[in-house]
Amino acid sequence: MEKKRESLKARKTNETDISLQFLIDGEGNADIDTDVPFMSHMLDLFTRHGLFDLKISAKGDVEIDDHHTTEDIGIVLGEALKEAVGDKAGIRRYGNAYVPMDEALAQVVIDVSNRPHLEFRGELPAAKVGTFDTELIKEFLWKLALEARLNLHVIVHYGENTHHIIEAIFKALGRALDEATMFDPRVKGVPSTKGSL
């Protein structure tokens, strides 16, 4: 029986208290409890579209703003993803997904490369969705890419409604990551000419 690709992570600072359980080969089960409702919604979409299992509890100093909690969720999820993927033997490594959401179209391309980078191309028309500062989306994605050591490209092809654009991004993120971490029986060892990732 193959070992489960899962991770348990926690992070506690003066600003946030986060515990997280992440399973790559899941069924899309999400148990999300954060102080940032918009991020809870996006993480639920990411989990369901990636067919991961994610349980997360995140409390933070949201009386100041949502920055610390959103950023630290990205850090902890990235750490969990890196641990769960393990040595990367047999995985596809690359993933690409387009997702439309009404008038918006987003694309996410991932290389599980051990070379962290975020490339974000596109605009988020509104500075806020409800009370959530939309600039925090890039902050979350950068911390996720950094800690999971992903080369992460996010392209917003077009869109007018900021909620729709961000929703398309998170759905595409889940689908691209699912593809990249999927096992391919044709891949022998680590998918790199260097012999390691």
Q: In whole angstroms, what is the distance from residue 151 CA to residue 122 CA?
A: 17
pLDDT digits over 156-195, tens only?
999 999 999 999 999 999 999 999 999 998 988 877 766 6
With a cut of 70, which residues of the chain have pLDDT below it?
A: 1-2, 193-197
**Quick one: pLDDT at residue 196?**
67
Query: Using alpha carbons only, what angle is made at residue 158 by residues 152 and 52, rounded to the nearest 5 degrees?
Result: 40
Torsion of CA 115, 184, 188, 119, to 10 degrees: -10
**Quick one: pLDDT at residue 191?**
73
**Quick one: pLDDT at residue 139?**
98
How do 53-60 and 30-34 pair as beta strands?
parallel
**Quick one: pLDDT at residue 197?**
67
The pLDDT > 70 percentage for the chain reads: 96
Structure tokens, 69: 């909690």
Neighbouring-strand partners of residue 98:
107
**Quick one: pLDDT at residue 112?**
97
